Amino acid sequence: MTETLTKPDLDTVAEVAAQLRVDSVRSSTSAGSGHPTSSMSAADVLAVLISRHLRYDWDNPDDARNDHLVFSKGHASPLVYSVFRAVGVVSEDELLNGYRRFGERLEGHPTPVLPWVDVATGSLGQGLPDGVGIALAGKYLDKLPYRVWVLCGDSELAEGSIWEALDKASHYKLSNLVAIIDVNRLGQRGETDLGWDTAAYARRAEAFGARVIRIDGHNLTAIDEALSEAEDDSDERPTVIIAKTVKGKGFSEVEDSPDWHGKPFPEDMAERAIKELGGTRDVRVRGPLPEGEASDGGARGQAGKVDLPQYEVGEKVATRKAYGQALAALGAANPAVVALDAEVSNSTYANEFAQEIPDRFFEMYIAEQQLVAAATGINVRGYTAFASTFAAFLTRAHDFIRMGAVSRADLRLVGSHAGIEIGADGPSQMALEDLAMMRSVHGSTVLYPSDATSTAALVERMAETRGISYLRTTRGAYPVLYGPDEDFSVGGSKTLREGSDVTLVGAGVTLHACLDAAEQLGKDGINARVIDCYSIKPIDEAALRSAADATGGKFVVVEDHHPEGGLGSAVVESLLSGGRTSLEVEHLAVRGMPGSGTGAELMAWAKIDADAIAEAARRLADRA
Instruction: Return the residues of window 122-141 that contact a copy of itself according to CB under 8 A.
Output: 122-125
Residue choice 8, 36, 74, 250 for contact with a copy of itself (CB under 8 A): 74
Contact code string over 153-192 relative to a copy of itself, x by CB under 8 A = --xx-xxxxxxx--x---x---------------xxx--x
Exposure of 104 in the CB half-sphere (CA atoms within 13 A):
17
Q: Distance between CA 609 and CA 599 in Å, rounded?
A: 10
For residue 538, whether the previous peptide bond is cis, meaning omega lies within 30 degrees of 0, is yes
Q: Classify residue 392 by its DSSP letter.
A: G
Residue choice 136, 226, 372, 441 for contact with a copy of itself (CB under 8 A): 441
Dihedral of the CA atoms 24, 26, 30, 34 (nearest 10)? 20
Q: Rule CB under 8 A: say whether 101 interacts with a copy of itself.
A: yes
Minimal distance in Å, beta carbon 228 to a copy of itself? 27
**Which of 314, 398, 309, 393 has its CA nearest to residue 348?**
393
Minimal distance in Å, beta carbon 311 to a copy of itself? 25
C-beta closer to a copy of itself: residue 19 or 369: 369
Minimal distance in Å, beta carbon 409 to a copy of itself? 12
Q: Rule CB under 8 A: say whether 576 interacts with a copy of itself.
A: yes
H or E, element range at 15? helix 10-31
- Judged by CB under 8 A, the chain residues 33 through 52 that form the site for a copy of itself are 33-34
Q: Rule CB under 8 A: say whether 208 interacts with a copy of itself.
A: yes
Minimal distance in Å, beta carbon 406 to a copy of itself? 5
Q: Rule CB under 8 A: say whether 64 interacts with a copy of itself.
A: no
Residue choice 120, 226, 308, 507 for contact with a copy of itself (CB under 8 A): 120
Residue choice 143, 203, 275, 466 for contact with a copy of itself (CB under 8 A): 203
CB 367 within 8 A of CB 397: no
C-beta closer to a copy of itself: residue 85 or 439: 439
**What letter represents residue 374's amino acid?**
A
Secondary structure of 336-356 in HEC code, one letter for each residue: CEEEEECCCHHHHCCHHHHHH
Judged by CB under 8 A, the stretch of 176-184, 306-314, 439-447, 492-500 that binds a copy of itself is: 439-447
| Distances in whole angstroms, Cα of residue 421 to Cα of each of 12, 267, 472, 595 | 65, 62, 13, 11
Q: Classify residue 608 by its DSSP letter.
A: -
Q: Rule CB under 8 A: say whether 104 interacts with a copy of itself.
A: yes
- Judged by CB under 8 A, the chain residues 261 through 320 that form the site for a copy of itself are none
| Distances in whole angstroms, Cα of residue 93 to Cα of each of 23, 31, 82, 126 | 11, 13, 12, 30
**Which of 594, 187, 188 has its CA nearest to residue 424?**
594
Catalytic residue list contains 267: no
Backbone angles phi, psi at 162, to 5 degrees: -60, -40
Minimal distance in Å, beta carbon 297 to a copy of itself? 27
Cα angle value 404/409/413 (rounded, 5°): 70
H or E, element range at 505? strand 502-506
Q: Rule CB under 8 A: say whether 351 interacts with a copy of itself.
A: yes
Judged by CB under 8 A, the stretch of 139-147, 198-206, 293-301, 516-524 that binds a copy of itself is: 198-206
Judged by CB under 8 A, the stretch of 301-309, 378-386, 499-507, 593-601 that binds a copy of itself is: 593-601
- How many other CB atoms sit within 10 Å of the CB of residue 359? 8
CB 470 within 8 A of CB 447: yes
Residue choice 4, 440, 465, 527 for contact with a copy of itself (CB under 8 A): 440
Q: Rule CB under 8 A: say whether 206 interacts with a copy of itself.
A: yes
Judged by CB under 8 A, the stretch of 57-65, 130-138, 265-273, 366-374 that binds a copy of itself is: 366-374
- Judged by CB under 8 A, the chain residues 477 through 516 that form the site for a copy of itself are none
C-beta closer to a copy of itself: residue 89 or 114: 114
H or E, element range at 477? strand 477-479
Considering the candidates 107, 368, 433, 559, report the single residue annotated as catalytic.
Answer: 368
Q: Rule CB under 8 A: say whether 605 interacts with a copy of itself.
A: yes
C-beta closer to a copy of itself: residue 333 or 344: 344
The residues with which 392 forms a beta bridge, in sequence order, are: none
Cα angle value 244/87/59 (rounded, 5°): 130
- Judged by CB under 8 A, the chain residues 368 through 387 that form the site for a copy of itself are 368-370
Residue choice 218, 398, 497, 512 for contact with a copy of itself (CB under 8 A): 398
Contact code string over 536-575 relative to a copy of itself, x by CB under 8 A = -x---------------x--------xxxxx-xxx-xx--
Residue count, binding to a copy of itself (CB under 8 A): 114
Q: Distance between CA 279 and CA 171 in Å, rounded?
A: 47
Minimal distance in Å, beta carbon 304 to a copy of itself? 29
Specify the 3-state DSSP secondary structure of 513. Answer: helix
C-beta closer to a copy of itself: residue 56 or 361: 361
Alpha helices in 381-467 (DSSP H): 398-406, 434-439, 452-464
Minimal distance in Å, beta carbon 168 to a copy of itself? 8
The residues with which 284 forms a beta bridge, in sequence order, are: 4
Q: Rule CB under 8 A: say whether 198 interacts with a copy of itself.
A: no
Residue choice 12, 60, 61, 108 for contact with a copy of itself (CB under 8 A): 108
Q: Rule CB under 8 A: say whether 396 interacts with a copy of itself.
A: yes
C-beta closer to a copy of itself: residue 351 or 527: 351
Those residues with Cβ within 8 angstroms of residue 132's Cβ, 6 or more apart along the chain or in another chain: 165, 168, 169, 172, 174, 177, 370, 373, 374, 377
Beta strands per DSSP E along 209-267: 211-216, 239-244
Residue choice 31, 48, 213, 588 for contact with a copy of itself (CB under 8 A): 31
C-beta closer to a copy of itself: residue 6 or 596: 596
Q: Rule CB under 8 A: say whether 236 interacts with a copy of itself.
A: no
Residue choice 53, 68, 73, 109 for contact with a copy of itself (CB under 8 A): 109
Residue choice 115, 297, 301, 443 for contact with a copy of itself (CB under 8 A): 443
Q: Distance between CA 400 and CA 109 in Å, rounded?
A: 15
The residues with which 4 forms a beta bridge, in sequence order, are: 284
CB 241 within 8 A of CB 225: no
Distance of CA 398 to the CA centre of its chain: 9
Specify the 3-state DSSP secondary structure of 198. Answer: helix
Q: Rule CB under 8 A: say whether 247 interacts with a copy of itself.
A: no
Q: Distance between CA 622 and CA 521 in Å, rounded?
A: 12
Give the β-pairing of 316-318 and 477-479: antiparallel
- Judged by CB under 8 A, the chain residues 406 through 435 that form the site for a copy of itself are 406, 424-429, 432-433
Q: Distance between CA 265 and CA 29 in Å, rounded?
A: 6
CB 422 within 8 A of CB 599: yes
Minimal distance in Å, beta carbon 237 to a copy of itself? 13
Q: Rule CB under 8 A: say whether 346 interacts with a copy of itself.
A: yes
Active site (catalytic) residues: 368
